[in-house]
A and B are shown apart, each in its own frame.
Chain A
Amino acid sequence: MIPELGQFALVLAVGLCLIQGVLPLWGAAVRNADWVAVARPAAAGQFVFVAIAFAILMQAFLSNDFSVAYVARNSNTALPTMYKVAAVWGAHEGSLLLWSLVLAGWTVAVAVGSRGLPEIFAARVLGVLGLISAGILLFTVATSNPFERLPVPPLDGNDLNPLLQDPALAIHPPMLYIGYVGFAVAFAFAVAALLAGRLDREWARWTRPWTTWAWMFLTMGIALGSWWAYYELGWGGWWFWDPVENASFMPWLLGTALIHSLAVTEKRGLFKSWTLLLAIGTFSLSLLGTFLVRSGVLVSVHAFAADPARGVFILMLLGSITGTALVLYAVRARNMVAEGGFHAVSREVALLLNNVFLVGATAAVLFGTLYPLFLDALGAGKISVGPPFFEIVFLIPMLPLLFLLGLGMHTAWRTMQATTLLRMVRIPALVAVLVGLIVPWLWFDRLSVLSAVGIVSGCWVVAASLRDPIALWRSQRRLPRGQWGMIVAHCGLGLFVLGVTVTSAYNIEIDESIRPGESLEIGSYELGFRGLRNVEGPNYRAVEGEFELRRDGTLVTVLAPQKRVYNVQTSPMTEASIDSAWSRDVFVALGDSLGDGAWSVRLQYKPMIRFIWFGALVMALGGLLATTDRRYRNATAPKPSPATDTLEDAA
């Protein structure tokens, strides 16, 4: 009975979404205050019903209700409680429900946070969000009902995919969804501006913090996924340019471009139509990612063609949401041209170039991800587009972007003397070149051209970011928090670049067979194999190796990689064991028994790999600082008069 209530709640939520979508938009068009006022209560109601459905599904997992098909497929009585919770979003149906819940959460946040905005504008934003929610919920109810019952419930469930039984993966999907679903808010703001036919600097100030919040969560979500892949997949790689990864990375790249373009629209009132296009594009890429991941088209175009119900529905959803927005854009955007000049050395040009490189990178990744699908669908042959392609096409726009970033941070709006700019960055540039060339030389005593370029770029970004804080510290001045956000986020990017370059240039990987009592050398470390023991987990059995990690004869730690076999889904899983420090990770994965007591092992030494995720975390922290700047907190206050407006902008 209870799961049916969940389904009923979902259907009610669809109804409320339609009310939230249609009435306020219509009311805004005909200036009917009563219909406009429906937006907020409808949004709250929608959230409540989606949350009820979500809670009921979670209860079905916690109470082992295997009469629900989705629970039977993805849970088991022996599954630890934490993973029962995570299993709610562990497969298709539940993850769509999470998608809806996250969107409903954003909608309520907007309903509350938009109280200071003009009533009609807020109604339009909520209306657009309501229509998107209605689409996704309809999709869930029509093709992917998580509450479907089994006529004969099994005694026990099929268990959650062992790969997903991991703490990082329990929080990775919610983070990721909060991020890329969050771009729906920027999209709704853009459509609301197009419906109004008017876009001013105020609009950019309202939109910016929402966009940055979404970007911040997406940054953390992607970083978590990458970290999980690193230690759980057992290969020691951290990014595979897999289409599923690209699906979340493309909205991130375009969202980053959007954040920068919004800065110009807020400060100068320029690039209005471009900013709108980016807002539409970013959320469209989120939807495209959902299509790619959820339709099965990635496994094979033919698998998709065999069971197209889900894929076609999302494709139609994508087409109608993006298509409507683009038509509106084509009709309305041309009225939004603003006057305002700038010269070649100016922040406007720096941010324009930032956008060109980020959009270029997004387009290249998008093209590389979709090209094999189109080629296959056209019957023109099957090809694979993998890391060798993406690494090249991604570096082409990224290297100039990193170089320009250090300059762009110090440019002035409108115009500035090139010599002034060069004088400002000469010390950071000098520091970057010296540190970037000498330190790796001393530390690793070898340096290739490409890794030198990467390391110097990373140092350059960090040094250029730190220039202003140092100058300020010397003059005892304080920066507004939004400025700090920019500095911290850019610093994080520099650290990330350093991590990526140093890891890929100086990584050591050894595949060897080893017997108890023997040891292997890697870098300045020595790994001794003590032996094996059997381990009994809650829902798996494992063989655990015991390895002593020594450096100069002293014990650093004992590493215990496992080879697991789960009770229900019996394919073997590799659980790597990692000793991590700021400067390096030592990674051991256990392979197969080779007979005679010998085991194959993979041993890796990865210098500075922590900087990759730490850098991403610092970027997200930058986003947090930027969104909590006081001028956004004031943005919810009643519309300021023109005089206070300029004051706000100066801050």
Chain B
Amino acid sequence: MPEKRIGHIIKINGNMVVAQIDSLIIQNEVAYIIHGAGRLKAEVIRVRMNNAEMQVYENTSGLKVGEEVEFTGELLSVELGPGLLGQIFDGLQNPLPLLAKKCGFFLKRGIYIDALRNEDEWDFSPLVKPGDKVLAGVKLGFVPEKIFKHYIMAPFNLKGSLEVLSVARAGKYNFKQAIAQLKDSSGKIHEVFLKQSWPVKIPISAYTEKLKPSEPLVTKMRLIDSLFPVACGGTYCIPGPFGAGKTVLQQLTSRHAEVDIVIIAACGERAGEVVETLKTFPDIIDPKTNKPLVDRTVIICNTSSMPVAARESSVYTAVTIAEYYRQMGLSVLLLADSTSRWAQAMREMSGRLEEIPGEEAFPAYLESRIASFYERAGVVRLHDGATGSVTIGGAISPAGGNFEEPVTQATLKVVGAFHGLSRERSDARRYPAIDPLLSWSKYKGFINEKQAEAGHYILHRSNEVFQMMKVIGEEGTSLKDYIDYLKGEFFDSVYLQQNAFDAVDEATSSERQAYVFNFIYNILELDFNLEDKEKALHFFQQLGQLMRTWNSYRFRTEEFKRLEEEIALLLEEKKVRGKVNA
């Protein structure tokens, strides 16, 4: 590592500061601006001659030309180790509760606190013995963290095969005590601690191979799991206009998704929403583990009024922590809300750098940045044969709710599933407001393919009839078409829509989804004995009402079964026997 070098400020424009330095400059290295007693963190983002152009992660007011800048030679990194779970960090991994203790109500600039507390002690158990050969990322031992075995791994930056020289005995250790010594092929000895640091913009690649995402990730949202599934290790995006329910959707997913760990990156959004997660998660009990949800959650929060440059780093901080837990063989879900704010942060910086703008003034590298971010998702086979995954779900806030804009388009190119929210659906109070006619997924779900296809078909068919009816009126529509329309509406209202305020309806297990979907599939395939449109409408309203009540009963309880029989009876009454069509 090069030693610290000193430069001086020559130019200030918003959060872009240029420093002149006589020695070498490293692209993306971290620098500190010395302002009075404070040190403001910055990152070099462009080098021109001996000028380092930096984005500053803090408010720059009061800075002066000539002030000292200290270049560290290190890339922007995060600390990885036990103690991350349950934490709330800002975009630079400062723990916000500790910051509040130290500074009170406001986020004072230039105050940085260690992400992991040095004085904490962890109960270490070794998994290797002296003489063993290991690779970077191999588990050397573990400490208990909340409900997980938190593996301490050989540092990810080491190369080749290493020999274990020594390993600590089981017992309590803090972050300053080495727990192992490793010798690399050149004979150099590396000490291993309970924590390691990793540059956020570089993916962790200490695994054997990357696999194709094939297992469905159960979010317990019927519309997603049944029609537009997400795979473990896959990627998906949720674009939608304001007020369509992006954040509520992400909050529900963060609560119910069947994964080991959830990382929430609140990037450039309302502070109030983070506060809600912050204050409610400690009290919500995860039914799977019987522990508060907060125990499996890490929150990275850079709300819209916090410095813009740190907004850019917050998504990288989040994905790096996600990759770290993946290395332990866990499945991790990263929810980023919203990637548009991250893209805007890039745009602001690009403008200050006076780069030639692309579409809507976004920089030309927008697409590649978005692509490389989503590419950090995936299922990997680790050195010990286990698999771990990072799934990324990004919310997008397109300007004017128009999906043609650059961020949405760039994201659509790289994700595996698209859950587009529509204003019409949210105005009609159809939640989740994911538009089934617009959305798509390339992943395979757990619903029988033929049945899922029938579901898609009836929605399209129903919409077709609906559009036709707008022109020719109800009178001009044939009864058969009208029933198709009703079937689509029925399917939408009793299955796709979910009541987030109902304790049972808000989350549906995969087992129940498969069961109910099969039940509905049979209804959709039936021909009914209905004389006229009014009777048809009445019948489907009645059926819909029963099914919605059914949704709020717990699966396989007595009342659930009783209502099922009642519905079956109603169907029996109206269905056409044999396969004759009127």
A binds B: no
